[in-house]
Structure 1
Amino acid sequence: MTDSQSRPKPAKTKPKTGQRDPERTRALILEAATSEFAEKGIGGARVDAIAARAGTNKRMLYHYFGDKDQLYTAVLGNAYAGIRNAEKKLNLSGRTPEDGIRELALFTWHYFVDHPEFLSLLGTENLHRAEYLKQLSYIPEMHSHFITELAQVLKRGEADGVFHAGIDPLNVYLTMASMTCFYLNNHYTLSTIFGRDLMSDDNLDAWMQQIVSVTLASIRAR
């Protein structure tokens, strides 16, 4: 037997996290950071905790995102992209004007109910006066496309005599979003004050219908 045959083969080195699947590692870090920032805000969030949640280490986190501020900005951009991309699946242009508005109102409600972390991130960013959001130059254009599509639905409704003239699409969206956000952001205090569980299924369904009714009533032709 030769020396090369008797000599043990070196063990294969296991690829470090991020080297084997960088896209997956990046996604895991984003997901972990979203939870951490939503729970603790940017001031209370810790890089160590984010890395632990993601099953990686700080070195990999810094490699992909730079620092905590840059990671928070990436989380914020990802959150906005999530809701806008989901809205694209509604196909508002393929519905009647009233059905389009109804579907958008229902979608807005359900999205915020299902993604409480989005509301938390919005709260954090408003505390910082949109300091980080302003760094994302693509955000206005992303929302511009959405508002343009909503405006087209309203114009079709106006042409059909269903909606009154001169409706501002931003005001319509703010009606839906504000009724949704106020209810969900304040359900603990409101439930305590009025002695009603606002997060029960019956109350959630009732408020959802209220949002649809108020939104449509505000734009219907008189």
Structure 2
Amino acid sequence: MNILVIGANGNAGRRIVEKALKAGHQVTGVVRREGAIEGIPTIVKDALQLTKQELTQFDVVVNATSAFAPDTYYLQTDLTLLLVKALANTNTRLIVVGGAGSLYVDEDHTVQLYDTPDFPEEYLGLAKAQGNAIDILRKFSNVDWTFFSPAADFDEKGVESKDYILGNENFILNKDGNSYISYETYAQILVDEINNHKFSRQRFTAVQN
């Protein structure tokens, strides 16, 4: 498949690029500066300037934008809105690298992880922005979207493992009672979703044992 990775030089993005290439896909990256990533074709521009024509030439668009600072939280919603409007009623799939904070901690889906007393205050703004992003996705039944929430402990230095547990809307723990996943494992599961297309118009999550 022909895949576009927005934020291709970020922690998640570059791993997704590597694993998608290894799986035999064609990959193009969107980066803000020339030379930010090597070995693949790139579109060098602000992601908010991407056009429908640019986006719909791909089979899958992966939004792996790193918007973790308070002055970039708006990207979680603004870029999501741009993408769903551009991809509405097209054959291009959208996969969003989400966060754990918006996962639910109750069966009725009324309380999200970021609503709980022990949720770190420094991550609250980002978690709520990502929650707003998935709310936007849910309103677009004419877009083939998938929102992939990692575990709460998203480890940049961890190794890849094939031993993991998948979930849907709820916050889950691994067999040791931890919410953990490495970037390497997360990226491979995301590429598996590109290949297998199991979570159309759904959110899913994963924890690594």
- Give the alignment's TM-score, normalised by structure 1: 0.28
- In our comparison, the structure showing a higher alpha carbon Rg is 1
Q: Which has the higher strand share?
A: 2
